[in-house]
Amino acid sequence: MQANNKTVSIFNLTVVVAALGYFVDIYDLLLFGIIRIPSLREMGLTTDQITTDGESILSWQMTGLMLGGILWGIVGDKKGRSSVLFGSILLYSLGNIANGFVQTVEQYKWIRFVAGIGLAGELGAGITLVAEMLPKEKRGIGTSIVAGFGITGAVAAFFIKENFHWRTCYFIGGGLGLALLALRVSVLESGMFKTMKEKAVSRGNIFMLLNNRDRFVRYIQSILIGVPTWLVIGILIMFSKEFGKEFGITENIDPGKAIMFSYAGLAVGDVTIGLVSQWLKSRKKALYVFYALTALFMILYFTIQWNGSAFLMYALCTALGFASGFWAIFVTIGAEQFGTNLRATAATTIPNMVRGTVPLMLMLFQFLRSLPGVGYINGGIYTCAIVFILCTIAVITSKETFHKDLNFEEK
């Protein structure tokens, strides 16, 4: 079977196309955060509205991602991994083109919601295909390459934003997605999926993740493991401008630049953790290293003497990005935890459930900072502490999957 063929290169066509697809996905996913301020300012919003409505639009996008993860996960196990890659990229490409025409905040919310549904399918289906195609000795490296290269889409989005109007940025993202569809034709379906399809097993039944205690625990653990990445991105990086003001930074903080620097760090981190995981022969040990780094840099974020320097903020955003760059390993663990008949459902819903926690974390952050005597900075500290402790427990109690054979089904 192809998945057991140790001669399969980690730079084969499936890995390359998955990496390019994730590049476009990340470009479109992070674009709103990068152009949030200029786009909402052009619509006539005040500084306070740019913050509150920006949080709301981001929440709508992330809710779309969560719902889309369920949709595309089921499609991936019932119809095939390649079907998801075609359908999702078409939807989010058209959604991003539509975003270039928005005139009101309400339109912005709904179209980002639709685009979010489309964006939900790319990573999970791509990682599932790569994990099932590569032998277990190589799949950690393969998925890290996909994520490491794909994440540079955020860097590209920033530089395009620097040279084009924000509406044009959306048109470019949509155009890149439509161009990528041509490459999808060359991607073959997973051999494991084809074999499993011939068996009399339930496929893509999301309730199977909920109706068995062991599977449910594995599922919740898999979700929580990835939450710190979006805790960093969705709060500390996305709203770095607001935090910068609270920290007394006198220089202007550009959230788009903060996102760009953090994702440059994430790209390096994703590749590095794949190599660390291979060296340690363990997913969990590699996660412990990067979790420790994330905790360290979050503490520095709230305690460092900023001295009014925007440079320090961008440097720390880069460090936070690198430390929280365990997205590839996290999604790989999610794929490795479940059988072939549920793998796409799990691998696609898990990262999008993580993204879907962003509105919940924002609500927690808003609630905590509104309490008497708490304020913006302490609200951020409490939010980070609560979320990070829960996620650390999930890593500690999860199972090691480094050497796991993926050719099995859930009964």
What is the pLDDT of the chain when averaged over all its residues? 87
CB 230 within 8 A of CB 359: no
- In this prediction, residue 134 carries a pLDDT of 80
Name the residue among 320, 326, 369 with its Cα closest to residue 351.
Answer: 326
Q: Which residue has the tokens 């609500």?
A: 363
Whether 1 shows a pLDDT value over 60: the answer reads no
Q: Which tokens is 295 given? A: 């905790």
Whether 240 shows a pLDDT value over 90: the answer reads yes
Left (φ > 0), alpha (ψ -120 to 50) or beta: where does 248 sit? Answer: left
Each residue's pLDDT tens digit, 340-363: 888 888 888 898 888 888 889 999
- In this prediction, residue 101 carries a pLDDT of 96
- In this prediction, residue 186 carries a pLDDT of 63
- In this prediction, residue 199 carries a pLDDT of 67
Give the Cβ contact number of residue 368 at 10 Å: 18
State the Cα angle at 349 between 407 and 122, rounded to 5°: 85
- In this prediction, residue 187 carries a pLDDT of 64
Contacts of 61 (CB under 8 A, 6+ apart): 32, 112, 113, 115, 116
- In this prediction, residue 190 carries a pLDDT of 57
- In this prediction, residue 300 carries a pLDDT of 96
CB 87 within 8 A of CB 119: no
- In this prediction, residue 194 carries a pLDDT of 62
Each residue's pLDDT tens digit, 4-60: 445 566 777 778 888 888 899 889 988 998 898 899 999 999 988 998 899 899 889
Q: Where are the alpha helices (DSSP H) in 79-212?
A: 81-99, 105-119, 122-133, 139-150, 153-163, 166-184, 191-197
> What b/e string do you get for 68-85 counting C-beta neighbours within 10 Å, with b at 16 or more?
bbbbbbbbbbbbbbbbbb
Q: Which residue has the tokens 């952050």?
A: 365
- In this prediction, residue 4 carries a pLDDT of 46
Each residue's pLDDT tens digit, 286-337: 999 999 999 999 999 999 988 878 999 999 999 999 999 998 888 888 888 8
Contacts of 119 (CB under 8 A, 6+ apart): 25, 28, 29, 64, 65, 68, 88, 92
Whether 109 shows a pLDDT value over 90: the answer reads yes
Q: Residue 377's pLDDT band (boundaries 50, 70, 90)?
A: very high
Each residue's pLDDT tens digit, 144-166: 888 888 888 888 998 999 999 99
- In this prediction, residue 2 carries a pLDDT of 41
| Dist. CA 189–CA 14, nearest whole Å | 10
| Dist. CA 181–CA 359, nearest whole Å | 31
| Dist. CA 182–CA 167, nearest whole Å | 24
- In this prediction, residue 197 carries a pLDDT of 62
The domain made up of 2-397 is a member of CATH 1.20.1250.20: yes
- In this prediction, residue 180 carries a pLDDT of 84
- In this prediction, residue 144 carries a pLDDT of 82
Q: Name the residue ranges covered by the structural domains of the chain.
A: 2-397
Which amino acid would we find at residue 100?
G
| Dist. CA 319–CA 404, nearest whole Å | 31
CB 359 within 8 A of CB 59: yes
Ordered DSSP codes for 307-351: TT-HHHHHHHHHHHHHHT--HHHHHHHHHHTS-HHHHHHHHHHHH
CB 127 within 8 A of CB 331: yes
Each residue's pLDDT tens digit, 111-147: 999 999 998 888 777 888 887 788 777 777 888 888 8
Whether 371 shows a pLDDT value over 80: the answer reads yes
Name the residue among 360, 358, 382 with its Cα closest to residue 370.
Answer: 382
Each residue's pLDDT tens digit, 178-235: 988 877 666 655 566 566 666 656 766 888 888 889 999 999 999 999 999 999 999 9
- In this prediction, residue 318 carries a pLDDT of 96
Specify burial of residue 370 (Cβ count, 10 A radius: 0-12, 13-18, 19+): exposed
* pTM given for the model: 0.80
